[in-house]
Structures are given as C-alpha cells and as structure tokens.
Amino acid sequence: MNKKISLWLILLLFWFSSIVTLLFGWAVWYIKSDGPLFKGKTASYIISIASFPSLVKESFTELFTSSPLIRPNLYPSINGFKMEKGYVDSNYVLVSTYDKRFGQSIVKLVRLYDQTTIHQWVPDFDMIKKAMQYKSKFWHDANKLSILLRHPLLANDGSIIFNNGRLSPLIKINEDSKLIWVANGAFHHSLEYDADGNIWSPSVIAHSRFLSNLLNDYRDGAIAEISPNGKLLFEKSIGEILLENGYRTLLLGTGIYEHDLLHVNDIQPALTSTKYWMKGDLLISIRYKSTVLLYRPSINKIVWLKTGPWINQHDVDFIDSTRIGIFGNNTIRLNENNERLIDGYNEEYVYNFKTNKTETPYTEFLKKAKVSTLGEGRSDILPNGDLFIEETDKNRLLRGNTKNTIWQFVNCIDQHSVNALSWCRFISKEDFKKLKF
C-alpha cells in the first residue's frame, strides 16, 4: 500500500536543497574571488562540479548543433572555383576556412590552375588551449565548432601563425600541424612579416595613460611586434601615439565616446624605403575613424595621416614605391553591430603620394560582382593590376580586373550552406617557389 509523503517533509527537503545550492554558489564565488578558505583539491573539486553542466551542454552542442561557422550559401551557382572560360591562373591561395569534414577550422594551400589542395594544416585545439598561459575566453569558452583561424601567415618552412580572430594569443604550428609556440596576449585581425622576419599584429593592452584620468572601460587598441620565436618585442597604444603626435581631436573630438574608440584592423610594414616612406614604417588602418596613417616606430612619429575618402576601411597595402591600396567597406555604422552600405558595394581606393590624389579604378568590377561585405574584407592589388578580394561576410573569394570578374570561389557544403572563410591570402607563383616544405 502506497504511503503519502507529508507536506512538511517536502518543505524540509526544499529548504535543505535551497540552503545547499546557496552555499555551493557562495563557495564557487568565493574561490573565483581568490578567497583563502578553499584551496588545492577542495577548490578543484568544487569548480569541477560547477563546470559539469557546461561540459554537458558543450558535448550536446558538438553532437547535435551545427557550427556557427556553417553559413547560408548566398551564391548557389558557384561550387568551389568558377573560372572564366579559357583562363588559367598559375598562382595559389592560402585558404583559411571552417571544414565540416573535420568539424573545425583548417588552413589549406590550393593550386589555382587545377584547384588541387597541395597541403593542409589541421591544428589540435585541445593542445593549444593547454599551452596557453593567458586565458583567452574566445579560446577557452569556445569549442572547435566556433573557432576560426584568422589571417594565417605562412613561412617558407611550412609553419603558419594565426590567431582566432578576436582577442587571442598567437599560435604557431609546423607543417605537420604540431604546436611550436603560443605567444600569450590579446592579438586580433591582421598578421604580417616585416623586413626582419618579425610579425606585426593589432593588439589590446591594459589601459595606458591617455584616458586613465577620465575613463576605465575603454578598449585600448595597440600595435605589437612579435619575434619569430614568439617573444613580444614592442607594443604601444594607438591612443598614445595619436596624442603624442598632436591628434587629440581625431582621437577624442570626432564623435561620442564608445568603448572601442579606434578599432585597429590592419598593420602593413614597409619592406623597402622610397621617397615617401622608410623601411620599417607601418601603414596602419584605424577603421572607426576612417583613417589611414604611416607611423615610424623608431622615432614615435606619424609621418603621414589621411582621413577618407574611404569609409570604415578594413585593409591597407603598399602597392609600389608611390601608391597604397585601401579596401573601404563604405558603410554607415549605426552602432557596433549594425552597419549599412552607402552605395550598395565596397570600394578599392588607390592613393598616390606623388600626386596626392585618390582614384577608384575597380568600381566597375566591384559593382558588377556586387562585392558588399559589411564588416571585415581583404584586398590585394596584384603585380599585373588585377584585384584579389575576400568578401568575408559572404564567404566568397574573387579575382577581377578593372571591369570584370576573372574567377570566384565559394567553399560549398551543399546548395544551401557554405564553410566560413577567415582572411585568406593570395600566394604568387614567385612566393610559392620560395617555400621549402
């Protein structure tokens, strides 16, 4: 015969479980606050128990949830590379992409004339996380379904360096995808070699002095130089650079305060000296000010600065001894997560230091191809004058001349979905010949 459970017993159990829950929550908070009462194994056991629901959620996410890096296919007529009839491209592309077959992001070197993958890198994310001293929440709080390999930088020995696209340590792996080093810090966006083989990247640093007397919650964007063995050689706040060079109005007086004042997204080192810049100068893109500048780190001097006509640009490059190229998203920023195109397409600007003029020779190509990434995006003006583009938000690569598209690439899964791209690189046949792996 079944017996009814007394109401007072139910209430007692509810009261007891509530007290235990509150005490356990307090213990977790206390440990996270570095309290001295719980240490060693006791603290480890408590944190492990608290983490269990997150581990279960992550496991179910990996089993049953599609990756956020699988995106809608906006170009269903393009499956892989689509070349113009009769065109042969003898160069290569370093493709950084999510790959559903591996369940994570990979990097592959693709030969364009036959679209063959001749080498690929598949990093071990668990090994990378274990090697990190700096705890990046964009690595540790993410699973492999959501980590991108941003702007991989290929060395002649087959090693590559990358970050995860947000605030991330730099990671270097060898040609066999084995971890070489982790450079702890908060790096993001572009990676480029200078003439000495060091790497330059945008970074975020602990607050410098330029707003410390007014605010304490701003993102202090900086530039950083890292050695080939992962050691930080130089790091300086862009805000300080602007203040120390007389650009206080540009820094603080061109709009309302926002957390990310500058949004540095590309640093291009000058590899040679010309009449207009010196080897070692840095061409820097400050997106949220629609500003590009030349900075000489050796003397802490801005030697040239120009705001517009590009708007909210995302890439800057040296073209030759007198010209630079700027990929302008040309968007209106309504807020940090909401942008709209002004003209309906992106634009490539070419500024000539000799004539002090800006031209837009690729308008017809970009307009016809409807290149229209709101955020991100990459471009390279090739030696023959063609333009290489990554339309990042729409996961498409293109090569075109001043008038027409030459080829396009979309990393398709099926007619409805594609693998996300993450700042791919055009590798010329001359640079490919230098590779030793």
Interval 148-194: pLDDT, tens: 999 999 999 999 999 987 889 999 999 999 999 999 999 999 999 99
Residue 360 has what pLDDT? Answer: 98
Question: Mean of the pLDDT values across residues 270-283?
Answer: 98
Residue 122 has what pLDDT? Answer: 98
Between 23-32, 201-210, 278-287, the lowest mean confidence (pLDDT) is in: 23-32
Interval 95-131: pLDDT, tens: 999 998 999 999 999 999 999 999 999 999 999 988 8
Torsion of CA 210, 213, 214, 218, to 10 degrees: 50
Whether 309 has a pLDDT exceeding 70, the answer reads yes
Please state, in angstroms and rounded to a whole number, the distance separating the CA atoms of residues 219 and 113: 44
Interval 387-430: pLDDT, tens: 999 999 999 999 999 999 999 999 999 989 999 999 999 999 99
Question: Mean of the pLDDT values across residues 72-86?
Answer: 93
Mean pLDDT for the chain? 89
Name the pTM for this structure: 0.84
What confidence tier does 59 reach under pLDDT thresholds 50, 70, 90? very low
Please state, in angstroms and rounded to a whole number, the distance separating the CA atoms of residues 83 and 111: 13
Question: Mean of the pLDDT values across residues 205-223?
Answer: 84
Going by C-alpha positions, the residue among 92, 164, 71, 94 that lies closest to residue 424 is 94
Asked if 389 contacts 371 with a C-beta cutoff of 8 angstroms, the reply is yes
CB neighbours of residue 384 within 10 Å: 6
Q: Looking at per-residue confidence, does 124 or 10 come out higher?
A: 124
Residue 42 has what pLDDT? Answer: 66
* Positive or negative torsion for Cα 365, 369, 370, 375: negative
DSSP-based three-state secondary structure for 68: coil
Q: Report the phi/psi class of residue 422: left, alpha or beta, with left for phi > 0 and alpha for psi in -120 to 50.
A: beta
Whether 332 has a pLDDT exceeding 90, the answer reads yes
Considering only the C-alpha atoms of the chain, give the largest distance between any 2 of them, rounded to a whole number of Å. Answer: 99
